Amino acid sequence: MLVELVHQKNCKKNNVITDYHTGEIACNNCGAVSSERSIDVGPETLGFGSDGYQNKSRVGGKTSLKMADMGLSTIIESKNKDAAGKILSNENQRMFYRLRMWDKNSRSANYGKSLPKGFLLLDAISAKLGLPESVIEQTAHLFRKILAKKISSGRAISDTLCAATYISCRLSNTPRTIQDIADAANIKKKNLQKVYRFIARELDIYPKIYDPTEFVARISNAVHISEKTERHAFRILNLASKRMVSISKNPMAMAAAAIHLASKLNNEKISQLKISDASGISAVTIRNRSNEIMNEIGDEINA
């Protein structure tokens, strides 16, 4: 922090240093000390360990969009005592009772029931799917935007929040299928697809589709194939992408079909039913996608 100092005549520079222990601001050249004091931005009290130092911070928790009040709530305690620990008079007790009621009613009027209920479901979904913090914050932002625009009228809060979660996953390129989110929230996939299309159209959001290669590792770990077969599946998908085979196809289905073909070419006995259970794609769809890939790039795969 630069402040005006009374320097000596032969002092030509203004090299200011700060002593954080005493709070003094002085010139490093002539030693002139400012009358102002620096602001202590350290912890409120000293801690004797790493945990104690971090817990005794001057500030509270960080603000977050996934909280109804963004983490900036004001709570009036129910204890009818002052700062010195003395019991309040009857008149002051009645006054603070009314203040607590007004504070509680104002919070419910500002946030309603949609935000607390939606963010409670968001915590459960993020825990089940292992969503990163950036996706959670983006989902909370979209959910607030949807409620502000009042485009969720007549639709369940769970469907709206799950649709916002799926949009955030698509925008941030976090590989989570719509079936994963529907299973985590215990809702029907068909309802979620309908709400997702409606919200994406209303908010003018059209995220890119997932790359099928993002789901290869997930299926490979579930069916326990070798690393050689997994690399072969990546090669099949790259060739299919160059030949435009995977356009308008379910990326999870393309990944399952590539793993199925790679396991056959490497003589690994992995049944279609096992791949179907791991990917959530029916065996019929896996066979159809496999036949399409073989018809287009079968000569390059076998080479």
Residue-level pLDDT at 192:
92
Residue-level pLDDT at 52:
55
Is residue 50 scored above 90 in pLDDT?
no
The confidence band for 13, taking pLDDT boundaries of 50, 70 and 90, is low
The confidence band for 8, taking pLDDT boundaries of 50, 70 and 90, is low
Is residue 16 scored above 80 in pLDDT?
no
User: Does 140 lie in the same domain as 88?
Assistant: no
Tell me which DSSP letter residue 270 carries.
-
User: Does 196 lie in the same domain as 152?
Assistant: yes
The residue among 119 and 48 whose pLDDT is bigger is: 119
User: Does 27 lie in the same domain as 43?
Assistant: yes
Boundary residue ending a domain (18, 36, 60)? 60
Q: Which of 143, 209, 214 is nearest to 175 (CA)?
A: 214
Asked whether residue 153 is assigned to any structural domain, the reply reads yes
Q: Which of 24, 31, 23 is nearest to 6 (CA)?
A: 31
Residue 157 near residue 122, CB atoms below 8 Å? no
Least confident of 90-94, 113-117, 238-242, 279-283: 113-117
Residue-level pLDDT at 43:
54
Strand partners, 81: 87
What are the pLDDT digits (tens) for 177-197? 899 999 999 999 999 999 999
Residue-level pLDDT at 98:
84
CA distance 121 to 8: 66
How many domains does one find in the chain? 4
User: Does 225 lie in the same domain as 163?
Assistant: no
CA distance 260 to 303: 17
Residue-level pLDDT at 2:
44
User: Does 297 lie in the same domain as 230?
Assistant: yes
Is residue 222 scored above 70 in pLDDT?
yes
Asked whether residue 95 is assigned to any structural domain, the reply reads yes
Per-chain mean pLDDT for the chain: 81
User: Does 217 lie in the same domain as 193?
Assistant: no
Residue-level pLDDT at 38:
60
Would you state the structure tokens that stand for residue 281, as one six-digit string? 């794609």
Q: Which of 65, 67, 47 is nearest to 56 (CA)?
A: 47
Asked whether residue 207 is assigned to any structural domain, the reply reads no
% of the chain with per-residue pLDDT over 70? 78
Q: What is the distance of C-alpha 156 from the center of its chain?
A: 22
Asked whether residue 258 is assigned to any structural domain, the reply reads yes
Which CATH number belongs to the domain containing residue 251 in this structure? Answer: 1.10.472.10
**How large is the average pLDDT for residues 56-80?**
64
In the chain, DSSP assigns E strands to 16-19, 24-27, 33-37
Question: β-strands 16-19, 33-37: how paired?
Answer: unpaired
Asked whether residue 274 is assigned to any structural domain, the reply reads yes
User: Does 238 lie in the same domain as 184?
Assistant: no
Asked whether residue 25 is assigned to any structural domain, the reply reads yes
Its domain, for residue 21, covers 1-60
CA distance 5 to 11: 11
The DSSP-derived string for 63-130 is P-TTSTTTT------S--B-TTSPBPPHHHHHHHHHHHHHHHHHHHHHHTTHHHHHHHHHHHHHHHHT
Asked whether residue 218 is assigned to any structural domain, the reply reads yes
User: Does 278 lie in the same domain as 246?
Assistant: yes
What are the pLDDT digits (tens) for 124-176? 999 999 998 889 989 998 998 888 888 877 888 899 999 999 999 999 888 89
CA distance 226 to 247: 28
Neighbouring residues of 123: CB distance < 8 A, sequence distance ≥ 6 = 66
Is residue 107 scored above 80 in pLDDT?
no
Boundary residue ending a domain (96, 111, 126)? 111
